[in-house]
Amino acid sequence: MRLIILFSILFSFSNLRCAQSEDNWKLIVLGIAQDAGYPQAGCKKSCCKAYWKGQNPKQHPTCLALLNNQSKEAWLFEATPDFKDQMRALDTLGYQLSGIFLTHAHIGHYSGLIHLGREVMGTKTIPVYAMPKMKSFLENNGPWSQLVSLNNIELKELKNEKSVRLNASTKVTPFLVPHRDEYSETVGFKIAGLNQTILFIPDINKWETWNKDLAEEIKKVDYAFLDASFFADGELPGRDMSKIPHPFTSETMELLQDLPIKEKSKVHFIHFNHTNPALFNSPERKQVLKKGFNIVKEGQMIDL
């Protein structure tokens, strides 16, 4: 049982070591679920009961890591509640945490920062990249402000559409997207390497509220990791889902249905709520794949 648990925590990453070269960048997926992961606390529905019965694997909150195979540095995209598991994956692969990029101030995207404090890792000036309101939120609210005052983290202010260069060939560009912005603005990221570019939008309101054309943005990149929190209306009985600020997976597929198959295949759905049936082996998941789209998997690696 202990071996099975350890294998799960490492996301089966160790078998990917041999595939890494000494002088390139890779992006690895460390989580694909919504903020609370899967299973979710307090859920008594069949979706989470299936996990406790051993029918479905655990899925961690959405997180990516950009890996430099020469320097062995790693940059996380999001600091999730499962930060320790995702850090363990980096440790197993032989990478050191060099920085964190945050999209916004919802719990699944920044609360893992607490592990950098003196009660746990006690890090020194780990760069944390955040937009102005997100930066101010961390500076002026405990316990996050203590990470700043004790120099556990060093906040780096991002600007809309302004790139952060990690070296001559690799850059990260934030861009504003509409979302529930109670405490901060929300961004997606464009992660560009020497050969490939990834669009990462884990949270957004309906696509029509964005000031960009999704289909055109997909054409500009090689991979598009897109918000798939809920599959369709009616998924949450008793709730008016028209008031939930996320595009349904079914809506995104309909919006992009006229794209050539080459462009559709760039779409990799991510950030699944525990209720989204496409997270599991289901007719809905098969529907996504049949239509030419993809679903992100934990442990998936992409050469940049």
Does residue 1 register a pLDDT over 60? no
Residue 239 lies in a domain: yes
Domain containing 256 — which CATH number?
Answer: 3.60.15.10
Three-state DSSP state, 161:
coil
Does residue 75 register a pLDDT over 60? yes
Residue 295 lies in a domain: yes
Residue-level pLDDT at 8: 52
Residue-level pLDDT at 244: 77
Q: Is 240 exposed, middle or buried (0-12, 13-18, 19+ CB in 10 A)?
A: exposed
Does residue 13 register a pLDDT over 80? no
Mean pLDDT of the chain: 92
Enclosing domain of residue 88: 23-303
Q: pLDDT tens for residues 192-225?
A: 999 999 999 999 999 999 999 999 999 999 999 9
Cis before 260? omega within 30: no
Residue 5 lies in a domain: no
Does residue 16 register a pLDDT over 60? no
Q: Is 140 exposed, middle or buried (0-12, 13-18, 19+ CB in 10 A)?
A: exposed
Would strands 164-165 and 73-77 be described as parallel, antiparallel, or unpaired?
Answer: unpaired
In this prediction, residue 23 has a pLDDT band, given cuts at 50, 70 and 90, of low
Q: How far apart are CA 23 and CA 18, in angstroms?
A: 14
The total number of structural domains in the chain stands at 1
Q: pLDDT tens for residues 106-125?
A: 999 999 999 999 999 999 99
Would strands 164-165 and 171-176 be described as parallel, antiparallel, or unpaired?
Answer: antiparallel
E strands, 55-170, are: 63-68, 73-77, 96-101, 126-130, 153-157, 164-165
Q: Is 16 exposed, middle or buried (0-12, 13-18, 19+ CB in 10 A)?
A: middle
Residue 11 lies in a domain: no
Residue 7 lies in a domain: no
Q: How far apart are CA 177 and CA 245, in angstroms?
A: 12
Q: pLDDT tens for residues 263-281?
A: 999 999 999 999 999 999 9
Q: What spatial distance separates the first Cα and last Cα of the chain, rounded to whole Å?
A: 36
Q: pLDDT tens for residues 27-39?
A: 999 999 999 999 9
Q: How far apart are CA 183 and CA 90, in angstroms?
A: 29
Residue-level pLDDT at 20: 43
Of residues 160, 17, 170, the one with CA closest to residue 98: 170
Residue-level pLDDT at 4: 38
Residue 3 lies in a domain: no
Residue 164 lies in a domain: yes
Residue 194 lies in a domain: yes
Of residues 65, 69, 203, the one with CA closest to residue 134: 203
Return the amino acid letter for 177: V
